Structure 1
Amino acid sequence: MITIAVANQKGGVGKTTSAVNLATAFAAIGWRTLLVDLDPQGNASTGLGIEREDRVKSSYDLLVDGIPIDDCIVRTQIPDLDLLPATVDLSGAEIELVEMHDRTGRLRAGLAEAHHDICFVDCPPSLGLLTLNALTAADRLLVPLQCEFYALEGLSQLLITVEQVQQRFNPELAIVGIALTMYDRRNRLTDQVSDDVRNVLGKLVFEAVVPRNVRLSEAPSHGLPAIVYDHNCTGSRAYMDLARELIGRLPEKRKAA
């Protein structure tokens, strides 16, 4: 299973929207896909239409209590897309994990029992133990980056964290790409930030950019990924383009039949 952490310690950059729609895009082409909601807010779970009362077991139970992942996963309305949901209990996991053995490797251990082709992990907007668990478990890191000035400062801190994780916990971790989100062509600053990021990081930055789009914002309130809610909107088409690019950057691993 290929595991991709979708992370940025800055909130409001389109991280959950990216994780949900990329996971849906991969499921749509027949990859058995798992989406792990590791954010205590549980927005990815809500965005896939999983009500709070249906989250009997969650990522908290897997991390803290060691419950087998098959007992925590719920099926979604999207064929081939499963979800490890999040509940508010996850907000206390940071404290509880501190005293635990292998506190940064518990997600990796839990995911070892999963039977999927690909896994996306929606991380919380911080660089705490939950995100460290995701980076330790991941083969690749995908970074959604909002096209605004302060996003660049946050990116530098994230890159430092990635280096530390590579040295201490997961030498196989690599950045698969930077995805520019909330792109507004009417704003000159957007173009400036985009140019700056591409000049510094080069081919790490995906060609596909995700625009500001009302339909992307509406979709979660209907419990649907945007590419199901309105597959023709500009935001959905951008995520489908991004998914195609991402496939081209993944290691060659034969999908299970």
Structure 2
Amino acid sequence: MRRVIFNQKGGVGKSTITCNLAAISAVEGKKTLVIDLDVQGNSTQYLLGNKVADSDKTIAHFFKDSLGLGLFGGGKEGLDGLIHETPFPNLYVLPSHSDLEGLQSRLESRHKIYKLKEALEKLEGFDQIYIDTPPILNFYSLSALIAAEKCLIPFDCDTFAREALYTLMRAIAEVKADHNDRLEVEGVIVNQYQKQANLPRQLVDELIAEGLPVLETKISTSVKVRESHSDAQPLIHYAPTHKLTEEYRALHLEIHK
């Protein structure tokens, strides 16, 4: 199963959600891959720390190769040789790289938008693939939406996020119609939820009433998230019995049932 985690609004927790769901899949015995398409590389750092700072094995090198700029040329090497083991059993990552930013215009002009999908269809051995994306509908996020089967949308309960959500739903519908008829919105993940506050509850109730696929499990917030980032350990490893970890377990169960 290939899932993309995407929202055009920044700061909604895409990387945190990506890595924590992937880590739970791995703990449950599924061979799991995280692909980091965000030039900021938050998922890469969350899972590997700074271990790939100078590596020549990243997703940028896959795209370079599709342009004939890599060691092999013409996109022949695929993804297999670029995947890194993490310190956690069954969990792997295809890291981001700062070179992604400079490659985008050439990839667009050379019509390489289907390269990721083609490569993932050839990639064998993984039970679950989670794709982290930049907070903008650009070449990389569009490539991910074309390559994925399911889309999870983080939502952080403010009025601006609500407007962005409707814009995003229209964009995903267009991608589905034009490029990937298998793509489905699996659900909206309510993140950084404060159940005691009136506005978040009101916004969530309105989204449900309007027919949006809001997932039942809501993710709260805690200092443990920042601590787990700093320690480069997903919550299932950093704080396995914490309330937030249990919420992620429940979310993982909900999307896999």
Give the alignment's TM-score, normalised by structure 2. Answer: 0.91
Residue 253 of structure 1 aligns with which residue? none
Residue 252 of structure 1 aligns with which residue? none
Residue 165 of structure 1 aligns with which residue? 175
SS of residue paired to 2:254: helix
Residue 70 of structure 1 aligns with which residue? 80
Deviation of 1:56 (Å):
2.5
State the one-letter code of the partner of 2:135.
P
Gaps of 5+ in 1: 249-257
Distance 1:64 1:108 in 2: 16
Deviation per residue, 1:120-170 (Å, 9 max, x gap): 000110001110000000001011111111111111111111111111110
Residue 256 of structure 2 aligns with which residue? 247
Paired residues, number: 245
State the one-letter code of the partner of 1:161.
A
- State whether residues 55 and 85 of structure 1, in contact with CA within 8 Å, keep that contact through their aligned partners in structure 2: no
Which of 101, 122, 134 is the equivalent residue of 1:113? Answer: 122
Give the alignment's TM-score, normalised by structure 1. Answer: 0.91
Q: 1:72 to 1:174 in 2, by over 3 A?
A: same
Bigger mean CA offset, 103-112 vs 38-47: 103-112
State the one-letter code of the partner of 1:53.
A
Deviation of 1:50 (Å):
4.0
Residue 228 of structure 2 aligns with which residue? 219
Residue 151 of structure 2 aligns with which residue? 141
Deviation of 1:54 (Å):
5.7
Distance 2:139 2:5 in 1: 15
Q: Percent identity at matched positions?
A: 31
SS of residue paired to 2:188: strand
State the one-letter code of the partner of 1:57.
K
SS of residue paired to 1:79: coil
SS of residue paired to 1:142: strand
- State whether residues 62 and 110 of structure 1, in contact with CA within 8 Å, keep that contact through their aligned partners in structure 2: no
Please provide the CA RMSD for this pair.
1.3
Q: 1:21 to 1:54 in 2, by over 3 A?
A: farther
Deviation per residue, 1:39-85 (Å, 9 max, x gap): 00000010012423363211111123134211110000111111000
Runs of 4+ in 1 over 6 A off after TM superposition: none
